[in-house]
Chain A
Amino acid sequence: MLELTKAALSFSWAMSLFGTQQLTNLVGPNDLRKPTRRANAAFYSVTQAAQTQLNDLLFGGFQIGDEVERRLVDLAYDTLTLQAFRPSYVRTVSADIVEQSRDTLRVLTSAENARLAWQELKNNYEVFNLVKSSSSLLNIPSGGKGFNLGEAIKTAYGLGEYPDLWAVEGLGHDYAMTFFARWGKKQPVRGILTDGQASNLPDKSLTMMHAGLGLAFAEQLMIRITPYSDADEVRGVLSEFVMLVKNNSRDGYEGAAYESLGLLTRFWHAQIVNIVGQHISEVEPQAADYFWHGTGRAYYFLPIYFVPGLLSPWSAIEREAPNEVALLNMIAGLAWATAIVNVRQPTIMENFLKYHGEDVARTPAFSNGVMSALIMGIDITPGDVYIADFLRYTPASRDKKTEELWNRLVGRPGRLAVNHYHPVLRKHRRLGEVFRYQDLSALVAGLEGGKRLHA
Chain B
Amino acid sequence: MREFTKSILSFSWAMSLFGVQQTTNLLSPAKAAKAFDSVTEATQGQFTDVLKTTFNAGDKLQQSALDMTLGMFTGEALNPNKWMRMASDAAKHSADAVTKGVQGVTSTVQQAATTATTQGAGESAGSTSRTTSPRQGWGSMPS
Besides the known contacts A13-B58, A14-B39, 12 further A-B residue pairs in the complex with CB atoms under 8 A apart: A2-B66, A4-B29, A15-B43, A34-B143, A36-B4, A45-B45, A50-B15, A50-B42, A53-B39, A58-B21, A66-B13, A69-B10
Question: Are A62 and B14 closer than 8 Å at their CB atoms?
Answer: yes
Chain A to chain B contacts (Cβ below 8 Å), 21 pairs = A1-B29, A4-B33, A6-B66, A9-B62, A10-B62, A11-B36, A15-B43, A17-B54, A34-B143, A40-B3, A44-B7, A44-B10, A46-B46, A49-B38, A49-B43, A50-B17, A65-B13, A69-B6, A70-B9, A74-B2, A77-B1
Q: Is A221 an interface residue (CB 8 A)?
A: no
Q: How close is B97's CB to chain A, nearest CB, in angstroms? A: 11
Question: Are B18 and A50 closer than 8 Å at their CB atoms?
Answer: yes
Q: Is A110 an interface residue (CB 8 A)?
A: no
Question: Are B14 and A6 closer than 8 Å at their CB atoms?
Answer: no
| Chain B contact patch, size range | 35 or more
Instruction: List residues of chain A with CB within 8 A of the CB of B70.
Output: 2
Q: How close is A63's CB to chain B, nearest CB, in angstroms? A: 10
Quick one: closest A residue to B46, CB to CB?
A42
Q: Is A21 an interface residue (CB 8 A)?
A: yes
Question: Are A21 and B51 closer than 8 Å at their CB atoms?
Answer: yes
Instruction: List residues of chain B with CB within 8 A of the CB of A21.
Output: 46-48, 51
Q: Is A43 an interface residue (CB 8 A)?
A: yes
Question: Are A10 and B18 closer than 8 Å at their CB atoms?
Answer: no
The complex places the Cα of A419 from the Cα of B80 at a distance, in Å, of: 84
The complex places the Cα of A50 from the Cα of B12 at a distance, in Å, of: 10
Question: Are B54 and A55 closer than 8 Å at their CB atoms?
Answer: no
The complex places the Cα of A69 from the Cα of B55 at a distance, in Å, of: 32
Question: Are A7 and B37 closer than 8 Å at their CB atoms?
Answer: yes
Q: How close is A284's CB to chain B, nearest CB, in angstroms? A: 25
Question: Are B42 and A45 closer than 8 Å at their CB atoms?
Answer: yes
Instruction: List residues of chain B with CB within 8 A of the CB of A13.
Output: 55, 58-59, 62
Question: Are A62 and B17 closer than 8 Å at their CB atoms?
Answer: yes
Q: Is A47 an interface residue (CB 8 A)?
A: yes
- The 5 A-B residue pairs with the shortest CB-CB distance in the complex, in nearest-first order: A49-B42, A7-B36, A43-B7, A7-B33, A42-B46
Question: Are A47 and B62 closer than 8 Å at their CB atoms?
Answer: no
Instruction: List residues of chain A with CB within 8 A of the CB of B143.
Output: 33-34
Instruction: List residues of chain B with CB within 8 A of the CB of A42.
Output: 46
Q: Which one, B7, B29, B30, B41, contacts A39 given CB within 8 A?
A: B7
Q: How close is A42's CB to chain B, nearest CB, in angstroms? A: 4
Instruction: List residues of chain B with CB within 8 A of the CB of A10.
Output: 36-37, 40, 59, 62-63
Interface string of B54-68 (1 = CB under 8 A from A): 110011001100100
The complex places the Cα of A43 from the Cα of B3 at a distance, in Å, of: 11
Q: Find the residue from B4, B34, B42, B54 having the highest chain A CB count within 10 A.
A: B42
Q: Is A20 an interface residue (CB 8 A)?
A: yes
Q: Find the residue from B2, B14, B24, B63 having the highest chain A CB count within 10 A.
A: B14
Instruction: List residues of chain B with CB within 8 A of the CB of A66.
Output: 9-10, 13-14
Q: Which one, A5, A51, A61, A70, contacts B6 given CB within 8 A?
A: A70
Q: How close is A173's CB to chain B, nearest CB, in angstroms? A: 21
Q: How close is A43's CB to chain B, nearest CB, in angstroms? A: 4
Given contacts A3-B30, A18-B46, A53-B18, contact A11 B7 (CB under 8 A): no
Question: Are A46 and B33 closer than 8 Å at their CB atoms?
Answer: no
Q: How close is A262's CB to chain B, nearest CB, in angstroms? A: 22
Question: Are B6 and A3 closer than 8 Å at their CB atoms?
Answer: no
Instruction: List residues of chain A with CB within 8 A of the CB of B55.
Output: 13-14, 17
Q: Which one, B4, B36, B141, contacts A8 given CB within 8 A?
A: B36
Question: Are A62 and B13 closer than 8 Å at their CB atoms?
Answer: yes
Q: Which one, A8, A14, A40, A69, contacts B13 given CB within 8 A?
A: A69
Instruction: List residues of chain A with CB within 8 A of the CB of B30.
Output: 3-4
Q: How close is B109's CB to chain A, nearest CB, in angstroms? A: 12
Q: Is A73 an interface residue (CB 8 A)?
A: yes
